A and B are shown apart, each in its own frame.
Chain A
């Protein structure tokens, strides 16, 4: 199979800006990966081509790149699949991170965000160790069913694909981002953790869990099915349970649910108001847009009739409250 690869090249010492370079090569086997091809190009066509790789089997997390528009591990992406789907293969470095050379990006900002969430357990001593009958100290292990409540976040190989794809990071570079927040969830959920509340307090500050726009990009691109967004959603739920509700993000959820409980559907007139109530300054701020919408017939009645069968909805809400 003969295939054309368009690969982004950039040497900051020589080039003013990145450019795509085309390489044509014979791919010996349908099972070859994009990483195989990169090695082949480096050995046969262009020794200057620079990329990171190590394990070649989707374990080390070194080789994420943007392949045909989406973040993927080069060692996990079959050339044949890409050719079948797109007819060509275009390879670019990860987004959101500075390019060092060709396909290699600066990972330091990624690591500093992972470090910022304290990626280790901080247990109270008695929660982490047990003294056995014969006197020696042992570790407290958590049982399988508790480990399952971490979902898949331990499977993260810290590749950074999710961070590259994140819509929130794209507009707010300080955002902690999907990988770090997924990891943060793992420690909040650990029953041995001693600083759960402190963690949640930190995570609900600026650049934390409430800045995720729930776009699902991280879920889509993660090669290990970590589903970072779902971890962020669980962190939000934990924060609300912990009483950390003094945040527009938390108000958004509680106000939304309250309106659905009363009426069965959302009321777009009341929702923004519930968000700013009772802050007069913020109420005045949303007023001009509200008026414009009103003129265009876009503000529904404040007092819409509940849907038919609202009693069923209210009963479900009551049922769940008894669980809490």
Chain B
């Protein structure tokens, strides 16, 4: 199990705890990683708004780097996964587009042949590591912890490009939570939008989305939420206090990155998982867990 790791910008910027916990968890589970150090930003759907071909070319360059190593790509960001899945599908299936993009890359001696696979850590955990192995690796069961899964848009939609989970009724996070011993919370917000793309432009709308979904999870009894996307994490964690003010309601909801929740169950320490980086304290959720065995 070896992958070329595409970290994305957030894990190297505002969410260092994501990078750190993903690397630790991969190590324990035997997922070998080779970081794509010279890969550029996926564009987060924003570059595509400005210039679709430029965005495709930059991503084709990344795919070509992995192709050269002969490795599939692993992402740790739902937004990166969505953008890369769409770009890759386009480049693989639409030959004239691939040729047009390769012509842009040719002066630097880069060509993408269309053979790279791109997978999110969540999919790797379920498909390649497997829930059984994960279950056996648990050192500190999440029993008693009520976890609300929050997928975020890009890892689910457009489903014709992603093709892993059912976008209306996804199950992978739920299966994972259960395998780690936790209790999963069911609520309608689990597949909705965190609001992040509007957070710098129209904060009130973004907070209504992120805060609204968090409030629903709380009403349904969640002790914490888990997300495979650092942009969702920023929206739900960093902006939670502002959402509370707008909603006029206490939320106090710890938000975990996917590898942090897995890492907790694998017995990694708070320090290993970088939990002190969060703006909302995760202590209340940790107190629900049993002692480490």
Contacts and interface: CB of A to CB of B under 8 A. Distances in A.
B159 A268 contact: no
A257 B50 CA distance: 8
- Of the four ranges (under 10, 10 to 19, 20 to 34, 35 or more), the interface on chain B belongs to 35 or more
Given A211-B205, A296-B278, A315-B108, A252 B200 contact: yes
Interface string A48-88: 00000000000000000000111000000000000001100
A306 to B, nearest CB: 10
B158 A210 contact: no
Interface of A: 68-70, 85-86, 167-168, 170-172, 210-211, 213-217, 219-220, 233, 236-237, 240, 248-249, 252-254, 256-257, 260, 264-269, 271-272, 275, 289, 292-293, 296-300, 307-309, 312-313, 315-317, 319-320
Interface in B165-211: 166-169, 192-193, 195, 197-198, 200-202, 205-206, 208-209
Given A70-B168, A271-B200, A307 B40 contact: yes
Contacts of B48: 233
Given A70-B168, A256-B46, A296 B279 contact: yes
Given A86-B169, A272-B200, A296-B277, 18 more contacts: A68-B169, A168-B205, A214-B45, A215-B193, A217-B153, A219-B157, A233-B48, A252-B46, A252-B200, A256-B44, A266-B41, A268-B10, A300-B14, A309-B38, A313-B40, A313-B58, A319-B104, A320-B53
Contacts of B110: 312
A219 B158 contact: yes
A240 B50 contact: yes
B169 A69 contact: yes
A188 B69 CA distance: 45
Contact of A217 (B16, B49, B157): B157
A170 to B, nearest CB: 7
A265 B40 CA distance: 5
Which residue among B10, B16, B201 has the maximum number of chain A CB atoms within 10 Å of its CB? B201
13 contacts: A215-B153, A220-B159, A236-B49, A257-B51, A269-B13, A271-B200, A297-B276, A298-B14, A307-B38, A313-B58, A315-B108, A316-B54, A320-B53
Given A167-B192, A316-B58, A300 B12 contact: yes
A134 to B, nearest CB: 42
Interface in B41-94: 41, 43-51, 53-54, 57-58, 61, 82
A307 B39 contact: yes
B134 interface: no
Interface in B5-24: 9-10, 12-16
Contacts of B157: 215-217, 219-220
Nearest to A264: B40
B242 interface: yes
Contacts of A296: 276-279
A68 B47 contact: no
B38 A317 contact: no
Which residue among B37, B40, B45 has the maximum number of chain A CB atoms within 10 Å of its CB? B40
Nearest to A67: B168
A217 B16 CA distance: 30
Given A257-B50, A297-B277, A268 B13 contact: yes
A299 B15 CA distance: 9
A296 to B, nearest CB: 5
B9 A253 contact: no
B212 interface: yes
B47 A256 contact: yes
A298 B277 contact: yes
Contact of B153 (A85, A170, A216, A299): A216
B242 to A, nearest CB: 7
Closest 8 CB pairs of A and B: A308-B38, A171-B208, A216-B157, A266-B9, A167-B193, A268-B13, A215-B193, A248-B201
A93 to B, nearest CB: 16
B49 A68 contact: no
B248 interface: no
Contacts of B13: 265-269, 300
Given A237-B49, A252-B201, A312-B110, A265 B242 contact: no
B138 interface: no
A171 B198 CA distance: 12
B33 interface: no
A219 B105 CA distance: 30
A307 B36 CA distance: 10
Contacts of A264: 38, 40-41
B286 interface: no
A62 B48 CA distance: 34
A264 B7 CA distance: 13
B209 A167 contact: yes
Contacts of A315: 107-108
Given A167-B209, A312-B108, A237 B14 contact: no
A213 B212 CA distance: 15
A210 B49 CA distance: 12
A86 B168 CA distance: 11
B238 interface: yes
